[in-house]
Amino acid sequence: MENNNLYNYILGIADNSLILGQRLGELCGHGPSLETDIACTNISLDLLGQVRSYYQYAAQLADDGRNEDTIAMMRPEREYVNVLLVEQPNTDFAYTMARQFLFDVYHFSFLTQLQNSADNTLAAIAKKSIKEVSYHLRFSSDWIKRLGDGTEESNKRIQNAINDLWTYTDELFHQTEADKQMISEGVGVDTSKLKEQYYNEVSSLLKEATLEVPESKYFQKGGKKGIHTEHMGYILAELQYMQRTYPNLTW
Amino acid sequence: MSEAQIKSLEEEFEARIARDEKIEPKDWMPEKYRKTHIRQMSQHAHSEIIGMLPEGNWITRAPSLRRKVALLAKVQDEGGHGLYLYSATETLGISRGEMFEQLHTGKAKYSSIFNYPAITWADIGAIGWLVDGAAIINQVALCGTSFGPYARAMVRICKEESFHQRQGYEIILKLTEGTPEQKAMAQDALNRFWWPALMMFGPRDDDSPNTAQSMKWKLKRKTNDELRQQFIDQTVPQAELIGLTIPDPDLKWNDEKGGYDYGDIDWDEFWQVVKGHGPCNKERMKARVAAWENGEWVRDAAMAYSEKQNFLRKQESRAV
């Protein structure tokens, strides 16, 4: 394939939304209130809708019989390149919202830049997605504030969640070979330029929510190279169940 | 109020319904009317919410991205219907919390169909096709019911449900066009969901003591057996069209009545599930109760936060 870097770059974006969408999909019918239940399902729906556009584009580039579903569901675990953050479990509503918020801040600023991509298709997907993601960010930010400045218990729970997930934030800004190549061609977003703003925004909202900004400097990485946490296999077991059990069928 | 006064109010009330006027939440209504509506509308709302569970189970396992997205959208619609119906019921003077309490303690019922498991992908198709199909027949009849908020909710909900039904049928259709394994999956789902779907219309007319009153209030426009017949007559040709067999050896077209004759429904099974002993009654309830209990600290936090914000706003406006 001629444009392997672009293909890999697209997967790097789409896999994040796929796995996060999958995680949120687990919660359907189990939310703390009907409103949050519907909202989480809605965010999952948005993300998976975006995922379809990315993978359809990737399939078009691959031009070898792969389609959006085989790309999404038929890869071995080591070929998924999502960040570790999005595969973390729905331990409780605090973890779900912390994961969402830490991703949304990144996702929003990433898509803001991707709208200027030299690749017209990616720019168009970004323009369409950013409206949805600005809602995700508002939703998760509001919940960080509610939980942080709510009750003693909610404060403790959201602080724990933020502390635990903090270790996965740095990886959002790591760059793969494909990323570097795409940045140099004006297609990709130079995430190194987003990092400072990211931590500023996150910190300022955490403070507003009466939460402590974690100080740990120890970060986890690996997802972008396909080295995942132990959670990933279970996510894929469900995601791939039908495609693996009944290969090559249409549904 | 004297008995004579109440009687005259009641007469005027029944006359309004007979004239096809809508009853609105602030209008005077007999206590029995209020209670019957709370029962039926909350039961309807609960069914939407419980109904999210068997289908929600398949979101993470949907066979393609297109199906996954469509299923998410559908389940989200069901949640929306629940929200809408709870709000409509609240206009009768009961809170959502009280309705949940009734659900969780088993005082309030929900549609028994959701106590059957969704064990294959074809079941998601069968639920859309048969369960939503049956629900629409019930609900279209309710679009003209006498209580305004309920009638308006039904108009809106029916539009989405008919979309769901087509979507479910399309899932099944696709399976019947597929491999023998896929066809078998579709037939198996029809075999398991056919009879429970027929039970969704409730007991036979002879065993349905509230029908007369409900007809008068337009909470029912047709009897259980009439609606069931309508569903069968509508669904049998749909099954034939895609080469599936209705699992009823006694099913036969009856020219005289212009409808199908059908075999006996297993009413013992019906009552067993209604009384809480279906395949998934306990699981469904456990899932809902767990969601509610595990979410308590979240709801408390939201409430505490909102009170703090209100307090701050008041202080600010005082300072100005």
Question: Is residue A44 one of the residues assigned to a domain?
Answer: yes
Please tell me the total number of residues recorded for chain A in this structure: 251
CATH number of the domain residue A187 falls in: 1.20.1260.10
Backbone torsions φ then ψ of A17, nearest 5 degrees? -70, -35
pLDDT at A4: 92
Beta-carbon separation of A38 and B83 below 8 A: yes
Residue B1 pLDDT:
78
ipTM of the complex: 0.97
- Residue B208 — pLDDT band, cuts 50, 70, 90? confident
CB nearest to A26's CB, from B49, B60, B175: B60
At A2 the pLDDT is: 55
Domain limits for position A156: 4-245
Strand locations in chain B (E): 252-254, 259-261
Dihedral (C-alpha) B191, B192, B194, B197: value to the nearest 10 degrees?
Answer: -170
Q: What tokens were used for B140?
A: 């279209």
Given pLDDT bands bounded at 50, 70 and 90, which one contains residue B318?
confident
Alpha helices in B143-179 (DSSP H): 148-176
Partnered with residue B261 across adjacent β-strands are B252
Q: Using the predicted structure, report yes or no on whether residue B189 has a pLDDT greater than 80.
A: yes
Of B72, B83, B298, the CB nearest to A154: B298
More confident residue, B220 or A112: A112
Q: Which residue of A has its CA nearest to B54?
A: A29
Facing B298 at nearest CB: one of A32, A49, A69 = A32
Question: Between B65, B178, B295, which is nearest A69 by CB?
Answer: B65
Residues of A in contact with B49 (CB under 8 A): 29, 34
Residue A251 belongs to a domain? no
pLDDT tier for residue B265 given thresholds of 50, 70 and 90:
very high
Give A45's contacts in chain B (Cβ within 8 Å): 69, 72-73, 76
* Residue A213, phi then psi, degrees to nearest 5: -85, 120
Q: Mean pLDDT throughout B266-283?
A: 96
CA distances B278 to A29, B108, B184, Å, are 20, 16, 25
Q: Please say if the pLDDT value at position B180 is more than 70.
A: yes
Q: By C-alpha distance, which of B242, B318, B282 is closest to B104?
A: B282
Amino acid sitting at position B263? G
Ramachandran angles phi, psi of A89, nearest 5°: -70, 165
What pLDDT score does B91 carry?
A: 97
Say how many domains are in chain A: 1
Record: contact A32-B66, CB cut-off 8 A: no
The SS3 call for residue A213 is coil
Mean pLDDT of B227-232: 97
B253 forms beta bridges with B260
Q: Evaluate whether residue A182 is within a structural domain.
A: yes
Q: Is B164 at the interface with chain A, CB within 8 A?
A: no
pLDDT tens sequence for chain A (251 residues)? 557 999 999 999 999 999 999 999 999 999 999 999 999 999 999 999 999 999 999 999 999 999 999 999 999 999 999 999 999 999 999 999 999 999 999 999 999 999 999 999 999 999 999 999 999 999 999 999 999 999 999 999 999 999 999 999 999 999 999 999 999 999 999 999 999 999 999 999 999 999 999 999 899 999 999 999 999 999 999 999 999 999 999 99
Residues linked to residue B260 through DSSP beta bridges, in sequence order: B253
Interface test with A, best of B47, B53, B65 (most A CBs within 10 A): B65
- Whether B20 has its CB under 8 Å from any CB of chain A: the answer is no
A72: chain B residues, CB-CB within 8 Å:
65
pLDDT digits (tens, 9 = 90+) for B93-114: 999 999 999 999 999 999 999 9
Stretch 174-193 of chain B: residues touching chain A, C-beta under 8 Å: 174-175, 178-179, 181-182
First to last CA, chain A: 28
Q: Which residue of A has its CA nearest to B304?
A: A150
Establish if A112 belongs to a structural domain: yes
- B8-51 pLDDT, tens per residue? 999 999 999 999 999 999 999 999 999 999 999 999 999 999 99
Helix-helix angle A93-114:A34-62, to 10 degrees: 40
Show residues of chain A in contact with B118, CB under 8 Å: none
Higher pLDDT, B65 or B219: B65
Residue B166 confidence (pLDDT):
95
Q: Determine contact, residues A140/A107, Cβ cutoff 8 Å.
A: no
| A165 in a structural domain | yes
Confirm whether A57 is domain-assigned: yes
| Band (B210; pLDDT cuts 50, 70, 90) | confident
Contact B116, B279 (CB under 8 A): yes
- By the CB < 8 Å criterion, does B86 face chain A? yes
Looking at residue A1, what is its pLDDT? 55
**What is the spatial distance between Cα A160 and Cα A23, in angstroms, rounded to a whole number?**
19
